[in-house]
Chains A and B, each alone.
Chain A
Amino acid sequence: MKRQFLMMAMFMIIVAVLAACGGEKYKPQPINEDTDKCAICNMAIKDDQYATQIVTKDGQSLKFDDLGDMHTWMERNGTDSIGAAFVRDYHRLQWIRYEKAYYVYDPSFYTPMAYGVVSFETEEDAKAFIEQMGTGKLMTADDLEHHTWESNHSHGHDHGNGDGHEHSHDGHEEHGEADSASAETHDEHAAGGHGA
Chain B
Amino acid sequence: MALFRSKLMNPICLLMLIALCSLHIGQAQAIAEQSTVDLPLQDILDRAGPGETIILPEGTYEGPITISKPLTIRAEREGAVVLRNNSMQTAVTIEAEGTILSGIHIEDETFKEEPTVLVTADSVLLENLHIRTGAHGIAARDASDGSVTGSTIIWAPQGIRMADKGNGIDLLDAHRWKLTNNAIRDVHDAIYLESSDDGVITDNVVESSRYGIHTMFSKRTVIERNIGKMNVTGAMVMTAEQTSVKDNTFVKQSENVNSQGILLYDAHQITVSGNAVEGNRVGIYMEQSTGNRLEGNQVNSNFIGLQLVDASGNEIRANRFFGNVTDAQARGSEHNTIADNYWDSFEGIDADGDGKSDIAYAMNPFFASVAQKRPAFQLFFQSPGMVFLESLFQSGREGWSMDASPLMKPPASGYMLEPSDDSRTLTGWTGLVLLGCTSVFILMMRRRKA
Could you list which residues of chain A lie within 8 angstroms of chain B, going by C-beta atoms? 33-35, 37, 41-44, 46-47, 60, 114, 151, 153-157, 160-161, 168-170, 172-176, 179
Residue of A33, A35, A43, A179 near B161 (CB, 8 A) is A33
**Can you list 19 residue pairs at the A/B interface with Cβ under 8 Å?**
A34-B162, A35-B257, A41-B265, A42-B265, A43-B238, A46-B163, A47-B163, A60-B375, A153-B194, A155-B197, A160-B173, A161-B141, A170-B136, A170-B167, A170-B170, A173-B135, A173-B136, A175-B111, A175-B113
Which residues of chain A are within 8 angstroms of B113 by Cβ–Cβ distance? 168, 173, 175-176, 179
* Majority secondary structure of chain A interface residues (helix, strand, loop or mixed): loop
Give chain A residues whose Cβ lies under 8 Å from the Cβ of B165: 173
Asked if B172 contacts A169 (CB within 8 A), the reply is: yes
Asked whether B210 is an interface residue with its Cβ less than 8 Å from the other chain, the reply is: yes
CB of A153 within 8 A of CB of B195, answer: yes
Is the beta-carbon distance between B258 and A172 smaller than 8 angstroms? no
A43 to B258, CA, bound (A): 9
Kindly provide the distance from the CB of A63 to the nearest chain B CB, expressed in whole angstroms: 12
Docked Cα-Cα span, A156 to B113, in Å, equals 24
B238 touches A41 (CB 8 A): yes
Within 8 A of A (CB), among B40-61: none
Chain A positions within 8 Å of B170 at CB level? 170
Q: Choose from B216, B265, B285 the contact partner of A153 (Cβ within 8 Å).
A: B216
CB-based contact A160/B142 at 8 Å? yes
**CB-CB contacts below 8 Å: B156-188 with A:** 161-167, 170, 172-173, 188
Contacts of A151 in B (CB 8 A): 217, 239
Mark interface residues in B196-210 (1 if CB within 8 Å of A CB, else 0): 010000000000001
Q: A174 — which chain B residues lie within 8 A by C-beta?
A: 164
Which partner residue on chain A sits nearest B166 by CB separation?
Answer: A173
Q: Which residues of B contact A160 (CB under 8 A)?
A: 141-142, 172-173
Name the contact of B164 in the complex, choosing from A44, A60, A173 (C-beta under 8 A): A173
**Closest A-chain residue to B195, C-beta based?**
A153
- Docked pose: A37 CA to B256 CA in angstroms: 11
Once the chains are docked, how many angstroms separate the CA of A161 from the CA of B192? 19
Is residue B71 within 8 Å, beta carbon to beta carbon, of the partner chain?
no
Residues of B within 8 A of A154 (CB): 195
A33, A44, A47, A179: residue with the most chain B Cβ atoms closer than 10 Å: A44
Residues from chain B with a CB closer than 8 A to the CB of A46 are 163
Residues of A contacting B375 with CB < 8 Å? Answer: 60
Q: Given the complex, which residues of B lie within 8 Å of A114, measured CB to CB?
A: 217
Closest CB of chain A to B253's CB: distance in Å?
Answer: 13
Q: Nearest residue in B to A34 (C-beta to C-beta)?
A: B256
Find B210's partner among A44, A161, A175 (CB 8 Å cutoff). Answer: A44
Does any Cβ of A come within 8 Å of B287's Cβ? yes
Of the candidates A43, A151, A155, A174, the one having the most CB atoms from chain B within 10 angstroms of its own CB is A43
* B220 at interface, CB cutoff 8 A: no
In the assembled complex, which residues on chain A have CB atoms less than 8 Å from the CB atom of B164? 172-175
- Chain B's nearest CB lies how many Å from the CB of A136? 21
What is the chain A residue whose CB lies nearest that of B238?
A41
Bound CA span A35–B257, Å = 6
Complex CA–CA separation, A157 to B257 (angstroms): 34
14 more CB-based (< 8 A) A-B contacts, given A33-B161, A60-B374, A157-B195: A41-B266, A42-B287, A43-B238, A44-B232, A44-B258, A47-B163, A60-B375, A153-B239, A154-B195, A169-B172, A170-B167, A173-B164, A173-B165, A179-B113
CB distance from B131 to the nearest CB of A (A): 16
- How far, in whole Å, are A16 and B66 apart by their CA atoms in the complex? 64
In the assembled complex, how far is the CB of residue B369 from the closest CB belonging to chain A, in whole angstroms? 14
Give B215-257 as 1s and 0s: 1 = Cβ < 8 Å from A's Cβ atoms. Answer: 0110000000000000010001011000000000000000011
Contacts of A176 in B (CB 8 A): 112-113
B263 within 8 A of A: yes
Alpha-carbon gap, A50 to B288, bound state (A):
22
Closest to B172 in A: A160
Task: Report chain A residues within 8 Å CB of B163.
Answer: 33, 44, 46-47, 172
- CB neighbours (8 Å) of A155 from chain B are 173, 195, 197
In whole angstroms, what is the CA distance A174 to B236 when docked? Answer: 22
List B contacts of A33 (CB < 8 A): 161-163
- A156: B residues at CB distance < 8 A: 173
CA A168 to CA B113, docked complex, whole Å: 8
Contacts of A42 in B (CB 8 A): 258, 263, 265, 285, 287
CA distance A44 to B375 in the complex (A): 16
Q: Which residues of A contact B136 (CB under 8 A)?
A: 170, 173
* Shortest Cβ distance from residue A170 to the other chain B in the assembled complex, whole angstroms: 7
Whose C-beta in chain A lies nearest to the C-beta of B372? Answer: A39
Identify the closest chain B residue to A72 (Cβ): B288
Q: Which residues of A contact B141 (CB under 8 A)?
A: 160-161
CB-defined contacts of A170 to chain B, threshold 8 Å: 136, 167, 170, 192
Residue on B nearest A166 in the bound complex, by CB: B113
Provide the bound-state CA to CA distance between A173 and B166, in Å. Answer: 6
* Chain A residue contacts of B195, Cβ below 8 A: 153-155, 157
Q: Top 3 closest A-B pairs, CB basis?
A: A176-B113, A153-B217, A33-B163
